[in-house]
Structure 1
């Protein structure tokens, strides 16, 4: 249990410094160590990400920082909540179909590698890619849905992925 705490603490500190959260670090590191099942690791990573998110939101509210418009933030949050439930269902379906926890971990790792590579490519080329300013309610819900499903299925907070999406679609 100490190793889980140390990994979560180190990932949370590194994520806070980089501004990306720690979930994208926690899940692959714990998967690599093979100390628990994929389901347990996803749960532990999710709990850590949830606690970091609650802290960040609480800190922003106490400081009276309001950098996200309710017009876009609310449908994004609604979509992300539904997407999180869908991502959990997708995870359960892949687990059920595969029959092997290692297969589920491999599917998650492959998806995370593709998403991380896409995030890196966007980050390197973002100066040449014009951003959008999406305000349509339905579009915000769909974007939130995709982010929530991906983050939940992968068992990460989605920090770098969310940053790229928020930057591109909402010019944040």
Structure 2
């Protein structure tokens, strides 16, 4: 039953992730934490695998659909995201040895909730200040920051990625969603490699992991297709509603964990 529930959550999350740039992890992580069947390390791993799978299927779908993509920008962001992903994974492993499961889960929920609220507020500010960064090193620093946040929190970082891309590269939410998913691919890849190299892959059900990956691939393909068809206003509205709801779930998880 838990595996079926995980599958439903993941296909919805990755669909929304590819559609409006949420990444999927920001939905998967707090909801799996809310279910409470697995440890924070296992939830992080399942979320990472699902979001990574979604990013592959979504990016391939965009390439096949000949979506206009600035690959130089994605490469520069991704170089930073890989480094940030490794650093974020290292910090998570370090804190896992200091805090108990509930405390670390609550800390992640609190930080993610705050970042989501900030992202929603910025995206909805009319004529918000934005920049047009072109220097590869500066772009890589932005990617490093995003990769670090995503890896440490165990999410793709979609809404945060979108807000950063809109802020630093003057894009619409619809355009930013594509680059968000591209950055997610590399940050999650680096995290998975780090887990493998350091032999810190947590033990989890192979069936659950397989269902997560299959559902994530399906969600990524469907979401990318909808992103291609959707208009900016609809995507922005859905982004705002879903992120606001997930922020509330994160704050709830944090409160429950800190008071347990």
- TM-score, normalised relative to structure 1: 0.92
Match of 2:170 in 1: 171
**What is the RMSD computed on CA atoms of the aligned residues?**
1.4
Question: What does residue 115 of structure 2 align with?
Answer: 115
- What are structure 1's unaligned runs of at least 5 residues? none
Which residue number corresponds to residue 153 of structure 1?
152
Shift of 1:158: 1.1
* Alpha-carbon distance in 2 for matches of 1:104, 1:156: 14
CA distance in 2, matches of 1:143, 1:166: 9
Distance between the aligned counterparts of 1:165 and 1:19, measured in 2?
12
Residue 47 of structure 1 deviates from its aligned partner by 0.7
Matches within 5 A, 1:82-161: 82-98=83-99, 100-125=100-125, 127-161=126-160
The offset of 1:57, in angstroms, is 1.1
Which deviations, in whole Å up to 9, do the C-alpha atoms of 1:48-81 show, x marking residues without a partner?
A: 11011001111122223232241x3222110001
Which residue matches 1:5? 7
The higher-RCO structure (CA 8 Å, 6+ apart) is: 2
> What is the rounded CA distance, in whole Å, between the counterparts of 2:55 and 2:62 in structure 1?
11
1:51 is matched with which residue?
53
* Alpha-carbon separation, structure 2, partners of 1:13 and 1:138: 32
Q: Is 2:18–2:58's contact at 8 Å kept on the other side of the alignment?
A: no
TM-score between both structures, scaled by the size of structure 2: 0.62
Q: For 2:35, which of 33, 36, 54 is the aligned residue?
A: 33
Number of residue pairs the alignment of both structures matches:
169
What residue ranges of structure 2 are gaps of 5+ in the alignment?
A: 172-260
